[in-house]
Amino acid sequence: MNIKSILVSFSFLLALVSFSVAAWADDACLYGSAEWSSGDKIDGSTTVSTSWNGKEAFPRDGEYRLCLGSNPEKTITVYVEGQRYAEVFVDGDTRLDIVRR
């Protein structure tokens, strides 16, 4: 392998890493606490999803985090167990605490 091939490979790798970091930086997440109205923490028994895409989160020990894969920069609907829970403007990481009856 000559020096030119090494430089081309290194440049490609550097571009790939830069693209990956840029894509990750644009990923917005919904996060927050998840509890029952009694105050007990929700632990795996609830599904959180959005109108943005098909991704889901399952709260553990009273906390959840749902990364959307991109940054919507608009209002999206949040569903808890398939039922409309809230509408929230998402531009970057956004906190939304969930209380279930």
| Domain range summary for the chain, segments of one domain joined by + | 27-100
Helix or strand run (H / E) with residue 17: helix 3-25
CB 56 within 8 A of CB 48: yes
**Could you read off the pLDDT tens digit of each residue along the chain, which spans 101 residues?**
666 655 445 555 444 444 444 444 589 999 999 999 999 999 998 999 999 999 999 999 999 999 999 999 999 999 999 999 999 999 999 999 999 99
Matching CATH number, 27-100, of 3.30.420.10, 2.60.40.10, 3.40.640.10, 1.10.3720.10? 2.60.40.10
CA distance 90 to 12: 33
pTM of the shown model:
0.74
Distance between CA 100 and CA 13 in Å, rounded?
47
